Amino acid sequence: MTTLFISDLHLAAERPAVTELFGAFMQKEATRADALYILGDLFEAWVGDDDPSETGAYVAARVCEVADAGVPVLFIRGNRDFLLGDAFARRAGMRILPDPAVVMLYGKPVLLMHGDLLCTGDTAYQAFRAQTRNPAWQAQFLSQPLAARLAFAAQARAASAAHQGGMKQQDKTQFETLTDVATATVDATFAQFGIHTIIHGHTHRPAMHDLTVDDHACQRIVLGDWYEQGSVLRVEPDAMALEALL
């Protein structure tokens, strides 16, 4: 009995080796799991379910194989694929969860998130996030031609990389602080939901953090990214392990 968690794969045509690693993971391990949770940023960018990319088609097929094997596949949107919609979810046979979402994991309530909501120190990003999650903004964006949406996504990625690169050069310590979770927000989230375990991705800092919140022992588990290798959290009824896929 094993439930699998992955996030931050950032799959794209430019990184075929990682896409192949994902396919092998889905076919060899995910088809035997109790459930598979994908906590956002499955794709490097997603500009709408009408995108006919080969990567999208390949991913949908691999996910559908897992679902057809009787394994529930649950997905939380990330900051790179927040426009992934019901059409692609149906095509892939997976179910979209809200962010955040409380699920029961072997009888224990656990809070699942992509993780960007915890990074409240980056106020510029949080403002951008609020804007792009607005249904009116999304409707206007999705009404544009596919080529225009792809160009916007490429420009946004370049601007983000330049912004982060500038922050690193100016003050690396501040960069690390702004791009990681805010301790006060983490504590408030534990208290708000009344749970003792949070699993999320986004920060690309894989770790299992033990902490105390309001005199309760809590754990925050951060999934790793798939830029150079895979990362998976395997949870069993009485054990869990955060490991790299080599």
At 153, which CATH number? Answer: 3.60.21.10
Token output for 24? 């092998």
List the Cα angle 164/42/194 in 5-degree steps: 85
Confidence class of residue 218 from pLDDT cuts 50, 70 and 90? very high
pLDDT at residue 72, rounded to an integer: 98
- 135-142 vs 123-132: helix crossing angle, rounded to 10: 70
Q: Say whether 172 counts as a known binding-site residue.
A: yes
Q: Say whether 200 counts as a known binding-site residue.
A: no
pLDDT at residue 156, rounded to an integer: 84
- Percentage of the residues of the chain whose pLDDT score is greater than 90: 86
Domain range for 145: 3-245
Q: Say whether 80 counts as a known binding-site residue.
A: yes
Q: Say whether 81 counts as a known binding-site residue.
A: no
pLDDT at residue 197, rounded to an integer: 98
Q: Measured between alpha carbons, how far is 42 from 56 in angstroms, rounded to an integer? A: 10
Q: Say whether 7 counts as a known binding-site residue.
A: no
* For residue 245, pLDDT beyond 70: yes
Confidence class of residue 217 from pLDDT cuts 50, 70 and 90? very high
* For residue 172, pLDDT beyond 80: no
Q: Say whether 164 counts as a known binding-site residue.
A: no
Query: pLDDT tens-digit profile of 119-170?
Result: 999 998 899 999 999 999 999 999 999 999 999 999 988 887 777 776 666 7
How large is the average pLDDT for residues 100-105?
98
Say if strands 108-112 and 101-105 run parallel, antiparallel, or are unpaired.
antiparallel
Q: Say whether 114 counts as a known binding-site residue.
A: yes
Confidence class of residue 113 from pLDDT cuts 50, 70 and 90? very high
* For residue 178, pLDDT beyond 80: no
Q: Say whether 8 counts as a known binding-site residue.
A: yes
pTM of model > 0.85: yes
Please tell me which residue, 228 or 206, carries the higher pLDDT value. Answer: 206
Cα 172 to its chain centre, rounded Å, is 24
* For residue 233, pLDDT beyond 80: yes
Judged on CB neighbours under 10 Å (0-12, 13-18, 19+), 173 is exposed
Cα 29 to its chain centre, rounded Å, is 19
pLDDT at residue 176, rounded to an integer: 72
Residues 6+ apart with CB under 8 A from 154: 45
Please tell me which residue, 177 or 70, carries the higher pLDDT value. Answer: 70
Count of domains for the chain: 1
Confidence class of residue 171 from pLDDT cuts 50, 70 and 90? low
Q: Hey, is 92 helix, strand or coil?
A: helix
Q: Say whether 204 counts as a known binding-site residue.
A: yes
Give the chain's mean pLDDT.
94
Token output for 246? 């080599």
Confidence class of residue 228 from pLDDT cuts 50, 70 and 90? confident
